[in-house]
Chains A and B, each alone.
Chain A
Amino acid sequence: MSVFSAIICIAMVILALVAIESKRLLVSVIMLSAVGLLSVVLFVMMKAPDVAITEASVGAGLTTAIFLLSLRKLKRADAA
């Protein structure tokens, strides 16, 4: 269990660094959603199913949808 959680933690840190340093906004948003999903796995390992369901649906699902819809609106405001 500890090796598994260490692998997931290292993957989260690497994906977070990619999210901040990337030049394209779309890549950053997808990496943010991936960090959220890996945190759901950690929540389940810490015996917290309520928090895991809430983070998976609200944090990783709807936040990504809100980000992508706003990126589309920003591109249209830029092009117009």
Chain B
Amino acid sequence: MIQYFSMLLIAIGIYGLLSQRNLVKLVISLNIAEIGVNLFIVSIGYIEDGLVPIISSVNRTSSLVFVDPLPQALVLTSIVIGVGVTALALALIITIGKTKGSIDLTELGSSGGDDE
């Protein structure tokens, strides 16, 4: 069930990328798609009635059934890289807004394509 909805989130993110004109809305749609992808990757490793993958004084041995820890390690990296990409994209959009005067794709496209 979670897997179907995470793929629906990815589709909604792609719809936002195709249909929006404001540059900040494009970055927001990209972030929504990234949340969907991270949910899907963690849901691959889920085992029914599995335990949290930490050896502690409650779960003492390593022969119990743990949830798969490898997709969680990959998603940790993916979340942090998503924040880095968002910050750099927003810095670029601020610079475009300062020099060109607007952050709308149709206005940017029609005025800046004359010098071939």
Contacts and interface: CB of A to CB of B under 8 A. Distances in A.
Given A39-B38, A46-B46, A58-B80, A13 B86 contact: no
B35 A59 contact: yes
Nearest to B77: A54
Given A20-B25, A51-B76, A46 B42 contact: yes
Nearest to A67: B90
Nearest to B15: A20
Contact of A51 (B22, B79, B83, B87): B79
Interface of B: 1-2, 5, 8-9, 12-13, 15-16, 19-20, 22, 24-25, 28-29, 31-32, 35, 38-39, 42-43, 46, 50-54, 67, 72, 75-76, 79-80, 82-83, 86-87, 90-91, 93-94, 97-98, 103
